[in-house]
Structures are given as C-alpha cells and as structure tokens.
Structure 1
Amino acid sequence: MNILAVLSLCLSPILGGVSVVLGIIAQVQIKRTGERGRGLAIAGIVVGAIPAVIVSIIVLGAIIAEILDSRPSFPDPAPSISSSPSNYGDDDDLDVLWDDCADGDYGSCEDLYYESDVGTQYEDFGWTCGDRTTGGMCADADADADADADTSTTVVFNDVRPGDCFIDGSSVLVTVSDCALPHLFEAYHSFEMTDGPLPSEEAMDAQEDTECDSAFDEYVGISHDETRLQRSTFQPTEESWSAGDRTIICVIESDTPVTGAARNSAR
C-alpha cells in the first residue's frame, strides 16, 4: 500500500492543495513500483481539488464584479428646455397684452389667451381675465363695476346700430348695452334691401357678402379673410318682409358671453 496515496486521501478535506500534490506523486510511484493504493490517490486528488475549484470560482466572480463596478457611469441627459415663452417677462408682445389685460382691457385678455401657448402663465392670465375670474374669457369679470356702469337701453331690433352689443337677438325688442358688459352679439353694420318680392336665400347671401365683408374690414381693422372672429347676420323673415322689414344687420357673434368691443381690435 503506497503511503503517499493514503496521506493524499486523509489530507484532502483539510489541505486540498497538498493532497492533490501527494496524490499525483503517489500515482507516479504506484505506476513504477506496482504498489496498491491507486484508487486512494485518485480519490485524494479529486476531493482535494474541489476546494480549489470553489475558491477559483469565487475569485473569478470577485474579479468580474470589480470590473463591472469600475466602468464609468454617465449622468442622465439634462431635460430639454423649451424656448416657448411661458411667464411674464419672456416675450415683449405678450407682456404688452398682459399689462393691458391687467388694466381692464378685456379684448387684450382674449388676445393673450389665444396667442400664448397652452399651459403657460400667459394663457392662464388671459383665461381668467387678469386673475379676475376663475376662467371663461372675462364673462363674469368685475361684476360689481359692470353693474355700476350699466347703460343698457331697450330698442326695436331694427334700430340696432354699429357698436351696439346685446345678448338676445330673437325678439322684436332688444336690450343693447356697452360692449364692456357680457354679450353674445356686436353689431358692426346694417343696410336696407330694395323693395319687391322677398329675395331668394342665395341673392340675400350675395348682397350680405358685399355689404358686410367691406364693413367688417373697416370696423375691426383686419380683413374678414384673416379674422378669427365669428360673423353672422340677422335677415328679414318671410313674415317680417311682408310687414315691411328690409333691414339686414351684420354682427360679430360669440358662442359664450364675452366682454370688450371688437371695433378696431384687429382680431
């Protein structure tokens, strides 16, 4: 029995490296002398090598972890900065509208709302009519002051004149008021059609285009092709025509009550 083979197996649990060396030497001696113990030497080599393999795996893992940790890190890209004007002081033209809106020019408040970007301080200031309301294009702005300045009068509908503003256009009598008060309609022109049978809708529309378009350009200060204002007309009905009504009234119409005159606003 080869003594080194026995020692290789006995030392393998505690001295793995030594047992591997002894096992290899024992294999050489056994091959030369023919002694017994070849199986013990092989077992010592295998058992002794296991701790070395485990240690190698641990060391290799530590080296790989160190390499990964030492890679340079790059900072997150800086957020993009919008160049769109947002707050007071960012844009000279919008600042002028802001100042006029703050002074009570409700037309400027509306311009500020439409011309500024969505979600900006400019848009919010215009929408709330200079922080006077919770929103709604100044419809409820400064209600007490408006009540004091109320100069409303009731007239026959066909007596409405350019510059008159009103809410209801569905009755014979209409209450006209200062355009600083909330209104849905602002008259900017009226004209009389010639006597005779009631014209066709196409003929009436053609005469309206001729009369109202040119009057709008002069009244508002901007071409009717470029405006963002909504235009409409009040025409004689078949019944009113039979009663002698020949008046067509050209108006600027809003879907919700607004304040401020469109005259010379260039909107």
Structure 2
Amino acid sequence: MVLVGLIIWSAVGPLAQKPGTEVNATEYAEGDCFVDFDAAAESNRTVPCTESHSAQLVGSFTAEADEPYPGRDSLEERAGRLCQAETLALPEATDSLKQRTAYPSEEGWASGDRRLDCFIESTAGNTLTGSFLK
C-alpha cells in the first residue's frame, strides 16, 4: 500500500508543485503575470505579480468583429502602438527586459480572433517580482 502511494505521489507530486493557474491565451487579462512564459503557447501559468515571474501582460486591445483583416504589418504596428500607449513603471535598468507583441494571423482573424497584446518579458527567466502597471 505504501509503495502504491509513493508511486502515485512521484507521478503527481511534481505536477502539484507547479505554481500558478493555467490560463488559455484568449483569457489573459491586462495585468496578468506569468511564470515560465512562452509567447507561442496556447496557455501559460499566471501567478500574483508579487511572486517570481517572467512576463506581464501590460496592454490588450480587441478590434471590432466586422473589421476586415488589415494585414500583418498593420497589426504589428498597432500592437506596437498599444505597447507605447501604456504608462508603465519600469525599473531604471531595463537591459534584461523586452517588449513582445501578439496579434492574430490571417487564419486566426478569419476564425474570429481580434486580440492584440503587449507583454513585457524578462530575458533572464522568472526574475520579476512586481507589476509594471501604474
């Protein structure tokens, strides 16, 4: 009986120790902080911004549902402007930070995705411990 318990714990234990809540990319909220952030993933784990994390969603915008696909360059520019429009509380040393934008592909747009996001991400991993939003 003890052996069975140890086998189950060794399989489930490491999963239970992962911090945060898994959130689908379509459900990210402005201000969310992410541990082990992967911009290409369909979901990431959120944690309170006071805990160690590697990225934060600092701006988000959803285009009108009836807007025709404006093209990749236009979406990239709009997402960049979204990032610049945000008032952020950045540290003096920003050499380990990068701005990352996310926007739908033409196929995603055709299926209804109209979301543009701006993230601030650490290039040094889960080293952030506060919010960039004022």
Q: Is the 8 A contact 1:165 1:179 kept in 2?
A: yes
* Pairing 1:202–2:73 present: yes
Distance 2:94 2:63 in 1: 26
* Pairing 1:248–2:119 present: no
Mapping of residues 160-171 of structure 1, within 5 Å: 160-166=28-34, 167-171=37-41
SS state of the match for residue 119, structure 2? strand
Q: TM-score, normalised by structure 2?
A: 0.66
Larger radius of gyration: 1
- Residue 182 of structure 1 and its aligned partner are, at CA, apart by 3.5
Partner amino acid, structure 1, of 2:58:
Y
- Residue 245 of structure 1 and its aligned partner are, at CA, apart by 0.5
User: Which structure dedicates a bigger proportion of its chain to helix?
Assistant: 1
Distance 2:38 2:73 in 1: 26
- Residue 250 of structure 1 and its aligned partner are, at CA, apart by 0.5
Distance 2:88 2:104 in 1: 23
* Pairing 1:184–2:58 present: no
* Pairing 1:219–2:88 present: yes
Report the RMSD for the aligned CA atoms in angstroms.
2.7
* Pairing 1:153–2:21 present: yes
- Residue 235 of structure 1 and its aligned partner are, at CA, apart by 1.1
- Number of aligned residues: 111
- Residue 230 of structure 1 and its aligned partner are, at CA, apart by 1.5
Between the two proteins, what is the percent identity of the paired residues? 26
Unaligned runs of 5+ in 2: 1-16
Instruction: Name the structure, 1 or 2, with higher relative contact order (CA <8 Å, separation 6+).
Output: 2
Q: Deviations over 1:169-191 (max 9, x none)?
A: 32323221123434332111100
Give the one of 42, 52, 58 matched to 1:172.
Answer: 42
Distance 1:210 1:239 in 2: 23
Distance 2:63 2:133 in 1: 27
- Residue 239 of structure 1 and its aligned partner are, at CA, apart by 2.6
User: Which structure dedicates a bigger proportion of its chain to strand?
Assistant: 2
Distance 2:105 2:81 in 1: 20
- Residue 264 of structure 1 and its aligned partner are, at CA, apart by 5.3
Q: 1:264 to 1:210 in 2, by over 3 A?
A: closer
Q: TM-score, normalised by structure 1?
A: 0.36
Q: Is the 8 A contact 1:186 1:261 kept in 2?
A: no
Q: Is the 8 A contact 2:58 2:133 kept in 1?
A: no
Distance 1:264 1:247 in 2: 20
* Pairing 1:237–2:105 present: yes
Mapping of residues 102-121 of structure 1, within 5 Å: none
Unaligned runs of 5+ in 1: 1-146
Q: Deviations over 1:195-237 (max 9, x none)?
A: 333222221133223322111xx23268xxx965311111112
SS state of the match for residue 183, structure 1? coil
Give the one of 112, 128, 132 matched to 1:259.
Answer: 128
